Amino acid sequence: MSTAAATHDDHHDHHHAPTGLKRWLFSTNHKDIGTLYLWFSFAMFLVGGFMAMVIRAELLEPGMQFVDPEFFNQMTTVHGLVMVFGAVMPATVGLANWMIPLMIGAPDMALPRMNNWSFWILPFAFGILIFAVLMSAFGAGNPSAPNFGWTFYAPLSTKYGPASTDLFILSVHMMGISSIMGAINVVVTVFNMRAPGMTLMKMPLFVWTWLITAFLLIAVIPVLAGVVTMMLTDRHFGTSFFDAAGGGDPVLFQHVFWFFGHPEVYIMILPSFGIVSAIIPAFARKPLFGYASMVYATASIALLSFVVWAHHMFTVGMPLAGTLFFMYMTMLISVPTGVKVFNWVATMWRGSMTFELPMKWAIAFVILFTCGGLSGLMLAITPVDFQYHDTYFVVAHFHYVLVTGAIFSIFAAAYYWLPKWSGVMPSKLLGELHFWNSLISANLLFFPMHFVGLAGMPRRYADYALQFADYNFWISIGGFWFGLSQVIFLVVAVRCAMKKGEPAPAKPWEGAEGLEWEVPSPAPFHTFDTPPVVK
Which residues inside 8-27 make contact with another protein, applying CB under 8 A?
Answer: 14, 18, 22-23, 25-27
Number of residues that this document lists for the chain: 535
Compose the 258-277 pattern: x for residues touching another protein by CB under 8 A, - for all others. Answer: -x------------------
For the CB of residue 86, give the shortest distance to another protein in the complex, in Å. Answer: 15
Question: Is 277 among the residues known to form the active site?
Answer: yes
- Compute the chain's Rg from CA coordinates: 23
From 219, 218, 87, select the one nearest 150 (Cα to Cα): 87
Contact 151, 239 (CB under 8 A): no
Q: Which listed residue (178, 209, 347, 404) is catalytic?
A: 178
Please select the residue that binds another protein; options are 69, 246, 287, 503, rule is CB under 8 A: 246
From 41, 186, 32, 15, select the one nearest 103 (Cα to Cα): 186
Question: Is 61 among the residues known to form the active site?
Answer: no
CA of residue 30 relative to chain centroid, distance? 20
* Nearer Cβ to another protein (66/191): 191
Question: Is 194 among the residues known to form the active site?
Answer: no
For the CB of residue 394, give the shortest distance to another protein in the complex, in Å. Answer: 25
Question: Is 79 among the residues known to form the active site?
Answer: yes
For the CB of residue 113, give the shortest distance to another protein in the complex, in Å. Answer: 5
Please select the residue that binds another protein; options are 248, 351, 423, 456, rule is CB under 8 A: 248
Question: Is 243 among the residues known to form the active site?
Answer: no
In sequence order, which residues have a C-beta less than 8 Å from that of residue 140 and are 6 or more positions away?
A: none
**CB count in 10 Å sphere of residue 134:** 10
For the CB of residue 32, give the shortest distance to another protein in the complex, in Å. Answer: 9
Tell me the number of residues near another protein by CB under 8 A. 78
For the CB of residue 319, give the shortest distance to another protein in the complex, in Å. Answer: 6
CA of residue 393 relative to chain centroid, distance? 20
Residues 203-222 that bind another protein (CB under 8 A): 218-222
Residues 153-192 that bind another protein (CB under 8 A): 163, 166-167, 169-171, 173-174, 177, 180, 183-185, 187-189, 191-192
By the 10 Å C-beta count (0-12 exposed, 13-18 middle, 19+ buried), 317 is classed as exposed
* Nearer Cβ to another protein (249/390): 249
Instruction: Tell whether the torsion through CA atoms of 2, 359, 374 and 78 is positive or negative.
Output: negative
Please select the residue that binds another protein; options are 138, 141, 292, 319, rule is CB under 8 A: 319
Bridge partners (DSSP) of residue 513 are: none
Dihedral angle at the C-alpha atoms of 356, 361, 367, 371, nearest 10 degrees?
A: 170
**Piece of the chain touching another protein by CB under 8 A; list 48-56, 239-247, 326-334, 442-450:** 239-247
Residue 350 as a binder of another protein (CB under 8 A): the answer is no
* Nearer Cβ to another protein (46/174): 174
Q: Which listed residue (312, 360, 420, 507) is catalytic?
A: 312
From 328, 181, 179, select the one nearest 267 (Cα to Cα): 179
In sequence order, which residues have a C-beta less than 8 Å from that of residue 487 and are 6 or more positions away?
A: none
List C-alpha distances in Å: 450 to 73, 324, 444, 453.
Answer: 21, 25, 11, 5
For the CB of residue 375, give the shortest distance to another protein in the complex, in Å. Answer: 30
Residues 509-528 that bind another protein (CB under 8 A): 526
- Three-state secondary structure of 54-90: HHHHHCCCCCCCCCCHHHHHHHHHHHHHHHHHHHHHH
* Amino acid identity for residue 218 in this structure: I
Question: Is 11 among the residues known to form the active site?
Answer: no
**CB count in 10 Å sphere of residue 276:** 31
For the CB of residue 533, give the shortest distance to another protein in the complex, in Å. Answer: 15
Residue 226 as a binder of another protein (CB under 8 A): the answer is yes
Separation CA 492–CA 224 (nearest Å): 36
From 165, 158, 181, 177, select the one nearest 110 (Cα to Cα): 181
* 120 three-class SS: helix
Residue 381 as a binder of another protein (CB under 8 A): the answer is no
* Nearer Cβ to another protein (248/483): 248
**Piece of the chain touching another protein by CB under 8 A; list 58-66, 199-207, 255-263, 468-476:** 255-263
Question: Is 481 among the residues known to form the active site?
Answer: no
Compose the 464-493 pattern: x for residues touching another protein by CB under 8 A, - for all others. Answer: ------------------------------
Question: Is 108 among the residues known to form the active site?
Answer: yes
Q: Which listed residue (76, 171, 277, 422) is catalytic?
A: 277
Please select the residue that binds another protein; options are 239, 293, 387, 437, rule is CB under 8 A: 239
Q: Which listed residue (32, 58, 108, 385) is catalytic?
A: 108
Separation CA 479–CA 55 (nearest Å): 10
Separation CA 334–CA 212 (nearest Å): 18
Residues 103-142 that bind another protein (CB under 8 A): 106-108, 110-114, 116-117, 119-121, 123-125, 127-128
In sequence order, which residues have a C-beta less than 8 Å from that of residue 433 and are 6 or more positions away?
A: 485, 488
* Nearer Cβ to another protein (185/472): 185
Please select the residue that binds another protein; options are 5, 138, 199, 238, rule is CB under 8 A: 238
Question: Is 361 among the residues known to form the active site?
Answer: no
Separation CA 521–CA 423 (nearest Å): 5
Question: Is 485 among the residues known to form the active site?
Answer: no
Residues annotated as part of the active site? 79, 108, 150, 178-179, 262, 264, 266, 277, 311-312, 337, 340, 459
